[in-house]
């Protein structure tokens, strides 16, 4: 059997140290211990991955308790699946999921499985694809030995996604979305038999039977991939997005927009001066566009049923509701302060996407000016300096700050001295005479 010790030795020292410690503790317990799944796949592919799935042939919970004691970090147990998680802080942040080798029995399709103890072979057999069903022995005596019962190594070499058994997509239909994700991420090919099973499972509406929270998580994972559009096209071809909403149809126009999201995000990340202040979630840009053909009530119902985060829901809805209105307001001749007033209350994701929607060059320029300059414009005078001038915090105070900011945006002054003069002569004196 192949030995991956050389590849393991090239891992960051923290990872190597953790693996060796795990091997040593397992030795004390007399448990065989393995790294499994995506971590093994990624070691072979030479892809960075610090999510370690560890399987012990023994009591995983007891084992984790001891491991966390030695590492001096906390841990969380998930009793239903007899698994536990440890986060190891440090320069390289390692997430360790420890499980007892297990068999899974699916009582009903698309539901969560019943779990019982098993051997490492049982544990690997229940997994999604052969390339994810390899184990790496990390026990002291066999450190680095590849355990590959199902020719995952060969399939990895051939870049093929092969299922372990023909009920794989019935047991767990989210694997369909995983297949698409891995296919696009690694340039793999879904092997013909697996593809047939996927199509059969989709035709039976299996994906629509999965708990929506799990679908949401898988969808987000796809949207977080470096190039999600290829996966979205693949899904559209297979059966479409009925698993999100029965009438969700992604037409060519939407795909054209989705394709431009990547370049839009790049532009934003490279040029946007205030990017450190305003984090834009790229995956959310894709989600907003993906759902753009649903009506507002459909969006609300769907997003809530998938339990998306309420801020994310608000952004998707705002794009749908506000875009046309905002673009039409921006058509008019307006000063910088007016543009600021229109765009500032919106999220950056929504403003960015409006750039894609706006056809008129003048409107695009206004949005770009907002992103590049207006959104980060601040007045010079600080709160305590204003208090020194006798201003008291309250609604009036806020209005004065806003008036000052608007004046600055509209180029009425630029230096701090000029700002102070403007405040005294143009704002405060008028207030007093009122």
Decide if residue 68 touches ligand CTP (CB under 6 A).
no
Decide if residue 175 touches ligand CTP (CB under 6 A).
yes
Mention every residue, 6+ apart, whose C-beta is less than 8 A from residue 402: none
Decide if residue 171 touches ligand CTP (CB under 6 A).
no
Decide if residue 102 touches ligand CTP (CB under 6 A).
no
Nearest distance from C-beta of residue 225 to ligand CTP, angstroms: 9
Identify which of residues 37 and 144 has a Cβ nearer to ligand CTP in the complex.
Answer: 37
* Token pair listed for 384: 């305590």
Number of residues that bind ligand CTP (CB under 6 A): 12
Decide if residue 51 touches ligand CTP (CB under 6 A).
yes
Select the residue interacting with ligand CTP from 100, 130, 174, 375 (CB under 6 A). Answer: 174
* Token pair listed for 377: 């414009």
Nearest distance from C-beta of residue 144 to ligand CTP, angstroms: 19
Select the residue interacting with ligand CTP from 23, 32, 37, 152 (CB under 6 A). Answer: 37
Identify which of residues 164 and 291 has a Cβ nearer to ligand CTP in the complex.
Answer: 164
| Location of structure tokens 């630029």 | 414
HSE-up of residue 115 (Cα within 13 Å, Cβ side): 12
Decide if residue 191 touches ligand CTP (CB under 6 A).
no
Decide if residue 172 touches ligand CTP (CB under 6 A).
yes
Nearest distance from C-beta of residue 206 to ligand CTP, angstroms: 13
Cβ atoms of residues 32 and 120 within 8 Å: yes
Tell me the window of 63-71, 172-180, 238-246, 304-312 that interacts with ligand CTP (CB under 6 A). Answer: 172-180
Identify which of residues 190 and 330 has a Cβ nearer to ligand CTP in the complex.
Answer: 190
Q: In this chain, which residue has its C-beta nearest to ligand CTP?
A: 38
Identify which of residues 180 and 257 has a Cβ nearer to ligand CTP in the complex.
Answer: 180
Decide if residue 123 touches ligand CTP (CB under 6 A).
no
HSE-up of residue 108 (Cα within 13 Å, Cβ side): 4
Decide if residue 312 touches ligand CTP (CB under 6 A).
no
* Token pair listed for 286: 């894709």
Instruction: Give the Cα separation of 140 and 199 in Å (integer).
Output: 44
Tell me the window of 127-135, 247-255, 366-374, 379-387 that interacts with ligand CTP (CB under 6 A). Answer: 127-135
Decide if residue 118 touches ligand CTP (CB under 6 A).
no
Tell me the window of 14-22, 170-178, 187-195, 292-300 that interacts with ligand CTP (CB under 6 A). Answer: 170-178
Instruction: Give the Cα separation of 206 and 243 in Å (integer).
Output: 9
Nearest distance from C-beta of residue 19 to ligand CTP, angstroms: 16
Decide if residue 292 touches ligand CTP (CB under 6 A).
no
| Location of structure tokens 């007093």 | 432
Identify which of residues 194 and 339 has a Cβ nearer to ligand CTP in the complex.
Answer: 194
Instruction: Give the Cα separation of 358 and 370 in Å (integer).
Output: 14
Tell me the window of 1-9, 173-181, 293-301, 408-416 that interacts with ligand CTP (CB under 6 A). Answer: 173-181
HSE-up of residue 378 (Cα within 13 Å, Cβ side): 6
Residues that bind ligand CTP (CB under 6 A): 37-38, 51, 53, 127-128, 132-133, 172, 174-175, 178
């Amino acid at each position: 059997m192949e030995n991956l010790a050389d590849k393991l030795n090239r891992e960051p020292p923290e990872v190597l140290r953790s693996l060796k410690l795990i091997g040593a503790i397992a030795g004390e317990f007399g448990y065989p211990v393995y790294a499994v799944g995506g971590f093994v796949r990624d070691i072979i592919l030479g892809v960075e991955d610090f999510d370690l799935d560890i399987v012990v042939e023994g009591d995983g919970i007891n084992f984790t308790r001891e491991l966390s004691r030695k590492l001096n970090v906390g841990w969380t147990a998930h009793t239903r699946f007899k698994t536990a998680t440890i986060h190891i802080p440090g320069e390289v942040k390692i997430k360790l999921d420890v499980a007892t080798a297990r068999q899974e029995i699916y009582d009903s399709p698309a539901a969560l499985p019943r779990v019982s103890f098993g051997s490492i072979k049982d544990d690997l057999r229940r997994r999604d694809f052969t390339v994810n069903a390899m184990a790496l022995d990390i026990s002291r005596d066999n450190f680095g030995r590849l355990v590959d019962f199902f020719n995952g190594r060969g399939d990895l070499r051939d870049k093929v996604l092969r299922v372990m058994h023909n009920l794989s997509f019935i047991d767990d239909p989210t694997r369909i979305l995983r297949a698409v994700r891995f296919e696009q991420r690694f340039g793999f090919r879904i092997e013909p038999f697996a593809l047939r099973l996927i199509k059969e499972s989709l035709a039976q509406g299996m994906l629509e039977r999965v708990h929506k929270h799990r679908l949401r998580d898988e969808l987000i994972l796809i949207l977080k991939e470096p190039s999600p559009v290829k996966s979205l096209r693949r899904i559209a071809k297979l059966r479409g997005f009925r698993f999100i909403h029965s009438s969700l149809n992604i037409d060519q126009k939407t795909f054209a927009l989705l394709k431009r999201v990547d370049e839009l995000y790049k532009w934003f990340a490279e040029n946007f001066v205030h990017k450190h202040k305003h984090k834009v979630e790229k995956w959310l840009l894709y989600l907003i566009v993906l759902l753009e053909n649903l009506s507002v009530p459909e969006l609300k119902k769907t997003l809530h049923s998938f339990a998306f985060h309420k801020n994310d829901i608000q952004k998707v809805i705002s794009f749908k509701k506000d875009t046309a209105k905002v673009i039409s307001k921006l058509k008019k001749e307006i000063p910088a302060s007016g543009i600021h007033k229109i765009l500032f209350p919106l999220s950056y994701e929504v403003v960015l996407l409006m750039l894609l929607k706006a056809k008129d060059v003048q409107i695009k320029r206004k949005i770009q000016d907002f992103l590049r300059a207006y959104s980060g414009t601040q007045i010079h005078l600080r709160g305590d300096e204003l208090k020194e001038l006798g201003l008291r915090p309250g609604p009036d105070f806020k209005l004065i700050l806003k008036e000052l900011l608007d004046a600055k945006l509209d180029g009425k002054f630029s230096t701090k001295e000029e700002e102070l003069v403007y405040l005294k002569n143009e704002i405060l004196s008028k207030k007093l005479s009122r």
